[in-house]
Amino acid sequence: SMAERGIIPRAVEEIFDYVEKRSLDQGARFLVRASCFQIYQEIVSDLLQNTENILCERRDRLQIREDPVRGVYADGLSETVVTRPDEVYELMTIAASRRATSATKLNDVSSRSHAVFAIVLEQSFENEDK
């Protein structure tokens, strides 16, 4: 039921509800982007890069950087523009399917990586310079 849903679907839907309500206000425009990376054996990999080869050279070995304005980020990480909650859920499914896994004594398909799924929400107004 709706009341029993987890925090992730609630948070994602809240983001798009906010965007819809604020877009009706005076000239507010939004851009929502999603990204996901994993850290596996100290290697940072983009889980959403548009490629069929899961371990392609371009997606592996991203560098973690820090910027005074941007903060901590994975250099070269792809971002996908999303406009609806179901697009976010689809990306989450794709990312989960690409995570590094292996068998353990208790679980045949245990995740062997740490993953970070991020949603970035940018707001601008029509009277702002581009």
pLDDT (tens digit per residue) in 21-45: 888 876 789 999 999 999 888 889 9
How confident is the model over 45-91, as pLDDT tens digits?
Answer: 999 987 554 444 446 689 999 999 989 889 989 999 999 999 999 99
Helix ranges restricted to H, 34-99:
85-98
**Residue 24: C-alpha distances to residues 78, 83, 111, 124 (Å):** 29, 15, 42, 13
Mean pLDDT, residues 5-11 taken together: 92
Burial of 37 (0-12, 13-18, 19+ CB in 10 A): buried
Distance (Å, whole) CA 7 – CA 90: 17
3-class SS at 117? strand
Structure pTM?
Answer: 0.79
Measured over the CA atoms of residue 53, residue 84, residue 110 and residue 61, the dihedral's sign is positive
Mean pLDDT along residues 91-98: 91
Name which residue leads in pLDDT, 46 or 130: 46
